[in-house]
């Protein structure tokens, strides 16, 4: 039964940092884990290890970035296939119904009790942990870290990094310049746009705590490369510190 694990074990991992850190890190899709009481049906085995299940490379990147910045962080410990913490509770894609034209069996016949079970066990504890962490720090920027697949729907994505933002145009532009000066290929609001509501978690929590919200997207073939991550972490360290 899922009650045998605490909310911490089920839903999130919190990384410690300095309470006066200017940055607070989040990772909504950091892990592919299916906590106790949840499992992936055999029909969905093809989704394992793919970007549909989690953001490849993000977990080590956030750990390395947290250590470099001495920044607190909260990472989700469950697959986005169970419920997507980067979506509002009312959004249709909170529980993904299909991927690449194939039905996701895990979510094919969700009823209200199962939806509520996942929200109560995973989604809400994760967001509560972010709120608690922000309440205990004096950060200025909530920096959410994600990764994107190099090829999507047949389209090759050439950029290495994407800076996503809604209202923080100036801060996003400063980050773009810093990353490009460090030798990275950067796109603004690509491959997704914060101005189209696609940085939900970062902006939701930043607004509640009076912070500035940015999201970084890293191409997955690069995010899993330790040498690339080291370059990126150093560039972000110089920018934020």
Please, are residues 51 and 220 in contact by the beta-carbon 8 Å criterion? yes
Domain boundaries in the chain? Answer: 2-240
- Alpha-carbon gap, residue 161 to 92, rounded angstroms: 27
Give the separation between CA 23 and CA 29, rounded to whole angstroms.
19
CA 197 to CA 45: how far, in whole Å?
A: 30
- pTM for this prediction: 0.95
CB 200 within 8 A of CB 32: no
- Asked if residue 187 has a cis previous peptide bond (ω within 30° of 0), the answer is no
- Per-residue model confidence as pLDDT tens for the chain (241 residues): 234 456 556 899 999 999 999 999 999 999 999 999 999 999 999 999 999 999 999 999 999 999 999 999 999 999 999 999 999 999 999 999 999 999 999 999 999 999 999 999 999 999 999 999 999 998 899 999 999 999 988 889 999 999 999 999 999 999 999 999 999 999 999 999 999 999 999 999 999 999 999 999 999 999 999 999 999 999 999 999 9
Which CATH number is correct for 2-240, 3.40.630.40, 2.70.98.60, 3.20.20.70, 3.90.1150.10? 3.40.630.40
State the pLDDT at residue 116. Answer: 98
């Amino acid at each position: 039964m899922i009650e045998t694990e605490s909310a911490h074990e089920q839903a999130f991992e919190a990384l410690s940092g300095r309470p006066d850190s200017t940055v607070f890190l989040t990772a909504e899709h950091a892990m592919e884990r299916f906590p106790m009481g949840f499992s992936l049906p055999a029909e969905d085995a093809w989704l394992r290890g793919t970007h549909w299940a989690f953001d490849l490379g993000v977990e080590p990147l956030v750990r390395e970035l947290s250590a470099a910045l001495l920044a607190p962080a909260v990472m989700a410990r469950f697959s986005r296939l169970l419920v997507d913490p980067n979506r509002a509770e009312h959004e249709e894609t909170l529980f993904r119904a299909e991927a690449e034209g194939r039905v996701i069996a895990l979510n094919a016949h969700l009823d209200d009790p199962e939806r509520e079970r996942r929200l109560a066990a995973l989604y809400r504890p994760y967001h509560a942990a972010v709120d608690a962490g922000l309440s205990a720090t004096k950060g200025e920027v909530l920096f959410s870290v994600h990764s994107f697949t190099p090829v999507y729907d047949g389209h090759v994505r050439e950029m290495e990094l994407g800076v996503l933002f809604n209202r923080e145009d100036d801060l996003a532009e400063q980050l773009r310049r810093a990353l490009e000066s460090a030798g990275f290929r950067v796109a603004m609001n690509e491959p997704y746009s914060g101005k189209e509501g696609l940085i939900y978690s970062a902006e939701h929590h930043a607004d509640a705590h009076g912070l500035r919200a940015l999201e970084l997207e890293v191409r997955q073939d690069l995010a899993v490369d330790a040498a690339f991550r080291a370059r990126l972490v150093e560039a972000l360290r110089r920018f934020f510190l």
